Chains A and B, each alone.
Chain A
Amino acid sequence: MPENCIYIARSSAIAARALAGEMMVMHSADSTFFTLNEVATAIFQAADGHTPLRDIVRDRICGQFDVDPEQAQADAEQFVTELSSHGILIMSNQPLAPETP
């Protein structure tokens, strides 16, 4: 996956709820369960399929959290790769249509 332009979208096979300030995400096929921190939640919520990850990091992370931009980009790529491996997010180097269940 080219790292210069990554697009991410939420999978249609997940359920997500915010409770007591925490975002909980569950994969409906195998009930794999994740709790996202504040930064991860910001990325997850911005995963619309057509906003590049670097723009999400710039606007939603660096604009709101006190982080080093390069480190934030590296952490975000690692995070989306991990969630992608669990089927929570879909990654592509092309814009993605949002999945509908």
Chain B
Amino acid sequence: MAAPRKVACVEIGGIPIALATSDDGFLDLLRQRYDGFLSSSRPEFELEFDLVATGPASDDDVSVRREGDDWLIERGDFRARWDPRTGRGAVRQNANPYSLDSVLRILHSLILAGRGGFLLHAASAICDGRAYLFSGVSGAGKTTMTRLAPADVTLLSDEISYLRPGAGGYSAFGTPFAGELARSGENCSAPVAALFFLEQGPSNQLDELSSAEAVRRLMRNTLFFAEDHDLVDKLFATACDFVDTVPVRRLTFYPDARVWDEIRHFQKVPQHA
């Protein structure tokens, strides 16, 4: 007789997804992994996990493509199929949290793309009620910015920022997708005040970016894997809309706590996108 199926609902960015498994150990693992993001909301989507002995979490390129109406998401350590019409999908992977994280990130990136949102390779934090995003290449200082944050700043993520449009503009949501800090963000959200592309330097300085350069950098740092013209087109439109409505600057910073004075000062001065 098959073991009973158990479900944990994980809600990131206001999108509840049911994760179903018959493996008690895996259920415990995902409850620990997404502690703070577990939800009693009615799930919008569902993934059923079939645990197998595959290889360890992989750095291989991921493939995300349509097969009929389904999305097929594959990497060396997992294979997932998801039907966006029913919201249901199935995942074959081994019982490690890194594969699980990857599947969830990709699924959220697909859902968000259709809703005018996106995942950005960026740290994010709430300061004085508004969210600030810090993006850049590896080593640019995303984790450093979060380490330097004053005590009253709320960490949303040190690695992957979650952005959705709303009536009042874009909001950033906390995610459990951690980077070097190995610490989940807080499960809360705030309207986005600014996006900064980071570079380290001898002093703190903010510079304007042209719209084209801002869009180019935004697209380069957006997490999106699907080979799908319509979604890429929509994502491009979203990036242009974001740059049109949110101030985007280059932040050259010297890595000490004074950089956060610059952030607070930025908020006090009227800005334009």
Contacts A20-B210, A22-B210, A24-B240: A15 and B232 contacting too (C-beta < 8 A)?
yes
Task: Specify the chain B residue showing the minimal Cβ separation from A33.
Answer: B216
Tell me how far the C-beta of A22 lies from the nearest C-beta in chain B, rounded to whole angstroms.
Answer: 5
Find out whether the CB atom of B236 lies under 8 angstroms from the CB atom of A26: yes
Given A19-B211, A33-B219, A12-B229 contact (CB < 8 Å): yes
The residue on A at minimum CB distance from B234 is A15
Q: Is there a chain A Cβ closer than 8 Å to B262's Cβ?
A: no
Please give, as numbers and ranges, the residues of chain B lying within 8 Å of A64 by CB-CB distance.
none
Complex: A47 Cα to B220 Cα, angstroms: 27
Chain B hits for A71, CB < 8 A: none
CB nearest to A31 among chain B residues? B219
Asked if B212 is at the interface of the complex by the 8 Å CB criterion, the answer is yes
B256 interface residue, CB < 8 Å from A?
A: no
Contact assessment for B237 and A24 in the assembled complex, using a CB-CB cutoff below 8 Å: no
Q: A28 to B210, alpha carbons, bound, how many Å?
A: 22
**Contact present for A15 and B210 (CB under 8 Å):** no
**Nearest-neighbor residue (CB-CB) of B240 within chain A:** A17
Which one, B216, B220, B230, B236, contacts A17 given CB within 8 A?
B236
A13 at the interface (CB under 8 A from B): yes
The answer, yes or no, to whether B244 is at the interface (CB within 8 Å) is yes
CA of A53 to CA of B219 in the docked complex: distance in angstroms? 31
Chain A residue numbers with a CB within 8 Å of B227 are: 29
The answer to whether B240 and A28 have CB atoms under 8 Å apart is no
B233 near A19 with CB under 8 A, answer: no
Query: Which single member of A13, A15, A22, A29 contacts B236 (CB below 8 Å)?
Result: A15
Q: How far is the CA of A22 from the CA of B240 in the complex (A)?
A: 11
Contact assessment for A17 and B210 in the assembled complex, using a CB-CB cutoff below 8 Å: no
User: In the bound complex, how far is the Cα of B243 from the Cα of A19, in angstroms?
Assistant: 9
A15 and B233 in contact, given A20-B210, A24-B240 (Cβ under 8 angstroms): yes
Q: Mark A1-34, 1 if CB is under 8 A from B, else 0.
A: 0000000000011010101101010101101010
Among residues 126 to 178 in chain B, which have CB atoms less than 8 Å away from a CB atom of chain A?
none
Interface residues of A (CB under 8 A from B): 12-13, 15, 17, 19-20, 22, 24, 26, 28-29, 31, 33, 35, 101
